[in-house]
């Protein structure tokens, strides 16, 4: 059922914005989440609906905040999926997600997601701030991207983790294989990213509108071997976490990810290609992107925690073959 929080405002001195005041009073919600509730007409001040987050709170005002929790878990089918959980406690769960697994239910996929697997194991012991079909979900990685994701087991933890993601203090390191040699070999990509005008399901770099997106990268190794196009192994560290950010930025630089069907090369044509490599590439059914490390301040202990994921087998197979060829060449 939905929950209503009632607050009698006590304001002395300088008045506060409504969203800031509520964020200080309701510790389980972030300021951005409170803004969404205000925008959806979920806040009343003295019995009147308020739709402006900048509304000033006056002393002795009666404030009601409606938090929608109805159906949070009722419509999600628990399913045994065999998740690789590398850590959990009463506050957080760290999952090493395989490629091919969608994070939460959506159109066309209601039962074969990470959330369905979490519901099978943890049942109702997950936060509900993310909405009806996203219990515990604080952030996401793409379906065909593998690697680490943190899950919140309660609303306090969810709110604290969300603040860290909003403040860009969460440390996330990705490993990627890209076509060609990125120039310069080390640098920062800083652009605006918005919905593509040609395809609303895709994102694109924009010069005039969108959200700021910053990706730091460095080249670990360039593979320049016979009968294989140049391929680079790079490391990406996110300052922001926009939808498809790394994929969009690397494509924008002219160095799309291997296997990226949306932002990469549409058709692979080679004059002459190493057949063993071509077989590995053909069987590599996803983009070559792996969320390798994840670090943040634990909401309860207030200590920095860091987690690391092993390279997936398909990624490692391709990387090992390239490394072996490079050794043979030298």
Give the model's pLDDT for residue 110. 80
Instruction: Tell me if 95 sits within 8 A of 145, measured CB to CB.
Output: no
Verdict on whether the full-model pTM lies above 0.85? no
* Beta strand spans in 75-185 (E): 85-88, 92-97, 146-152, 171-179
Helix (H) or strand (E) holding 15: none
CB under 8 Å to 117, separation ≥6 — which residues? 79, 80, 81, 82, 83
Give the model's pLDDT for residue 75. 61
- The residue from 142, 167, 260, 314 that is catalytic is 142
Tell me, yes or no, if 142 is annotated catalytic.
yes
Rg for the chain, CA atoms, rounded: 23
Per-residue pLDDT tens digits of the chain, which is 330 residues long: 567 888 888 877 677 889 888 888 887 677 777 888 888 888 999 999 998 888 998 888 899 998 765 544 446 889 999 999 999 999 999 999 999 999 998 877 888 999 999 999 998 899 988 877 789 999 999 999 999 999 999 999 999 999 999 899 999 999 999 999 999 999 999 999 999 988 888 999 998 889 999 999 999 999 998 899 999 999 999 999 999 999 999 999 999 999 999 999 777 778 889 999 999 999 999 999 999 999 999 999 999 999 999 999 999 999 999 999 887 665
CB atoms within 10 A of CB 273: 15
Give the model's pLDDT for residue 329. 66
User: Could you give the angle at the alpha carbon of 153 between the alpha carbons of 19 and 101, nearest 5°?
Assistant: 105
CB atoms within 10 A of CB 93: 22
Instruction: Tell me if 50 sits within 8 A of 39, measured CB to CB.
Output: no
Instruction: Tell me if 225 sits within 8 A of 329, measured CB to CB.
Output: yes
Residue 325 tokens, joined: 């060829």
Nearest to 238 by CA among 212, 262, 207: 212
DSSP string, 52-107: -TTPEEPTT-EEEEEE--TTTTTT---------EEEE-SSEEEEEEPTT-BSS-BT
């Amino acid at each position: 059922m939905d929950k209503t929080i009632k607050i009698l405002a006590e304001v002395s001195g300088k008045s506060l914005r409504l969203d800031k005041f509520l964020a200080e009073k309701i510790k389980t919600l972030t300021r951005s989440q409170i803004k969404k509730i205000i925008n959806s007409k979920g806040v009343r001040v003295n019995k009147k609906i308020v739709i402006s987050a900048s509304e000033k709170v006056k002393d002795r005002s009666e404030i009601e905040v409606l938090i929608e929790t109805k159906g949070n878990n009722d419509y999600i089918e628990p399913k045994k999926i065999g998740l690789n959980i590398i850590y959990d406690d009463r506050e957080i769960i760290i999952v090493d997600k395989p490629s091919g697994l969608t994070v939460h239910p959506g159109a066309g996929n209601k039962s074969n997601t990470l959330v369905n697997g979490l519901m099978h194991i943890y049942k109702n012991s997950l936060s509900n701030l993310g909405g009806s079909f996203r219990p515990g979900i604080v952030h996401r990685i793409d379906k065909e991207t593998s690697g680490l994701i943190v899950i919140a087991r309660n609303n306090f933890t969810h709110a604290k983790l969300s603040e860290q993601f909003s403040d860009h203090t969460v440390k996330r390191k990705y490993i990627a294989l890209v076509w060609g040699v990125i120039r310069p070999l080390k640098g920062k990509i800083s652009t605006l990213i918005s919905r593509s005008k040609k395809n609303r399901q895709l994102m694109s770099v924009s010069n005039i509108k969108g959200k700021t997106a910053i990706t730091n990268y460095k080249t670990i190794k360039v593979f320049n071997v016979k009968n294989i196009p140049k391929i680079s192994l790079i490391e990406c560290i996110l300052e922001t976490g926009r939808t498809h950010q790394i994929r969009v930025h690397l494509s924008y630089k002219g160095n799309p990810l291997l296997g990226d069907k949306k932002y990469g090369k549409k058709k692979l044509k080679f004059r002459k290609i190493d057949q063993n490599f071509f077989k590995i590439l053909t069987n590599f059914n996803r983009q070559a992107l792996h969320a390798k490390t994840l670090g943040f301040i634990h909401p309860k202990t207030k200590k920095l925690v860091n987690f690391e994921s092993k390279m997936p087998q398909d990624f490692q197979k391709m990387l090992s073959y390239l490394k072996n060829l490079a050794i043979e060449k030298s």
